[in-house]
Amino acid sequence: MKRDLVSIDDLSSGEIAALFRTVDEMAARPREWTHLAQGAILASLFYEPSTRTRLSFEAAMHRLGGGVISAADMRSSSAAKGETLADTVRVVGGAYADILALRHPAEGAARVAARYASVPVVNAGDGSHEHPTQTICDLYSLYAEKGRLEGLDVVLSGDLKYSRTVHSLAYALARLRANVVLIPHRGFEMPEYVLRRLRERYGNEPQRLEADDFRSIAGRADAVYFTPQRPHQLSLFTEANRVAVAKLDALYVTRPQQERFTEGEAAPPVRIDREALSGARFKDTFVMHPLPRVNEISYDLDQDPRSLYFKQAARGVPVRMALLAFLLGRLDLGAEAPAPEPTAEAVRGRLGMACPNPTCITNLESHYLEPEYVVVSRSPLTASCTFCEVAVAPVLVGCASTRVFHRHNSGDVRRIKAEHLVLFASEEQARGSGFAAAGRP
């Protein structure tokens, strides 16, 4: 059966552990695996800029003995002529390639690709949604340096709103029984759909602190996933030597996701250098970064033995070697796949409201994709987008069989069959669709 890697949840905890063992072997002997993917072709479809992710995918496939066809800039492909993502993956997958690596600016794009492609799809980043292969690289780096993941206290700080790597990492850490602490900067809080997923799937309610509370938690944190959003450059780290922190094991830095900012959003970067990490408490602190860096890390740290970011990038090749071989069916991990998720009530159809997320794939390719939601609660009715997971709170709920609408918190909503549910953002929309208020002619 086809296996896709759209979300980090597409891999079980057992499969992640088995992947790590395989990565150990592949990293030790990278040229001894050319038999695993002979005759197979990877298509890398990148609608957004990439260097490390794309090249590590392609290097990984070559190391496995396979071939690569690449569309490094989909803006110069038939997408510029209006070709849909669905048509692209249907043609490229199967006819041209045996597996697809996709990067796309729209949230939910990877799920659409997986739905339409006949071959495995690997999500190389879909908007601000998820980036599961980067998360595997990050987890493996923590595992390689720490020897464990369970029980680590991991602080996710900064731009928690747009950083897709932070989202995937939070899911994985929660599932692997690490402790997740959120320190968002104002205006860049973790999206509600991420918190809901952590809560509902893993029973994990991350501790949430204000940015100023970083000092109170840093002393017992094993890893810090820090996205620099402080208003004053160096304000966090120039004061670090005066903080009573006994030990800090890892500091994860990433650039602000400026390409996703809306008008008025700004994020001056924090710059980390040797002086900022000169205190005794930082003696064994590893500095991590997914790259590319802009101004967040000084070049004087590059030769520092605490710097892991180039080693971290190099590990992307054996990590993706293991993932590609597994998804192609050429590698048996000997671990159970994730258990099927319980069937949930679904709302489908063009009638009613569109996904409120403007960068959801259903809004960008609406001429063939219908809005699709999963019902989260019936009292009051709330839902989430199947593709981008953004929460949906309709004002009115209609019944397609009776053509009447009710307030979203009405008891009558609970009696409407799932296949008849229609979600409306306003009374004007409901009446414009031919629905009448309940109890009125």
Indicate the range of 215-219, 238-242, 261-265 predicted with least confidence.
Answer: 238-242
Q: What is the mean pLDDT of the chain?
A: 84
CA distance 65 to 187: 46
Q: What is the mean pLDDT of residues 404-433?
A: 93
Query: In b/e form, how buried is each residue of 58-67, taking b as 16+ CB within 10 angstroms?
Result: bbbbbbbbbb
- Whether pLDDT at 75 is above 70: no
pTM (2 d.p.): 0.85
Give the residue with greater pLDDT, 265 vs 4: 4
Domain residue spans in the chain? 8-132+315-327, 133-309, 346-437
Helix ranges (DSSP H) in 33-119: 52-63, 85-91, 109-116
Does this chain's domain 8-132+315-327 share its CATH topology with 133-309? Answer: yes
- Whether pLDDT at 229 is above 60: no
Indicate the range of 93-97, 238-242, 254-258, 374-378 predicted with least confidence.
Answer: 238-242
Pair of tokens at residue 224: 């810090």
Q: Give the homologous superfamily in CATH for domain 8-132+315-327.
A: Aspartate/ornithine carbamoyltransferase (3.40.50.1370)
Closest CA to 385 of 355, 346, 426: 355
Q: What is the mean pLDDT of residues 53-80?
A: 84
User: What amino acid is encoded at 434 in this protein?
Assistant: G
Q: What is the DSSP letter of 7?
A: S
Q: 43 falls in which pLDDT band (50, 70, 90)?
A: very high
Query: What does the DSSP assignment read for 350-413?
Result: SSSPPPS-TTBHHHHTTTTPPPEEEEEEETTEEEEETTT--EE--SEEEETTTTEEEETT-GGG
Phi, psi at 342, each rounded to 5°: -60, 140
The H-or-E segment that residue 315 falls in is none
Pair of tokens at residue 277: 């990490």
Pair of tokens at residue 428: 């004007």
Residue 256 · residue 269 · CB < 8 Å: yes
CATH top-level class for 133-309?
Answer: alpha beta
Q: 296 falls in which pLDDT band (50, 70, 90)?
A: confident
Q: What is the mean pLDDT of residues 53-69?
A: 96
- Whether pLDDT at 237 is above 60: no
Give, rounded to a whole angstrom, the gap between the first and last alpha carbons of the chain: 51
- If one counts every other C-beta atom within 10 angstroms of the C-beta of residue 10, the result is 18
CA distance 429 to 417: 21
CATH top-level class for 346-437?
Answer: mainly beta
Indicate the range of 109-118, 172-181, 240-249, 253-262 predicted with least confidence.
Answer: 240-249
